[in-house]
Amino acid sequence: MPAAAWVTLLAVALIVAVVGLSLLKVISQLRHVAWTLGAVIVGVNAIAYQTRTIPEVLPSVNANLAPVRSMAEQV
């Protein structure tokens, strides 16, 4: 095999290695971004749950206050 073929194979191998390492770095960064977005979504859902509208929460509040209301009516 001529020397030019070996040089070409070595150059291709180096280019493939560099591209492979770059892709691994991108994969690592995308995993970090996906995890961070997941954490943000969980946080937003928690805030949305804790700031529900009154019509959604009112039946639960009335159910919790029913024993107090009945005790107050007896007095």
DSSP letters, 30-69, are HHHHHHHHHHHHHHHHHHHHHT--HHHHHHHHHHHHHHHH
26-44 pLDDT, tens digit per residue, is: 999 999 999 999 999 999 9
**Identity of residue 51:** T
0.85 exceeded by the pTM?
A: no
Average pLDDT of the residues of the chain: 91
Report whether pLDDT(57) > 80.
no
5: tokens are 């073929």
Q: Confidence band (pLDDT; 50, 70, 90) for 48?
A: very high
Report whether pLDDT(7) > 90.
yes
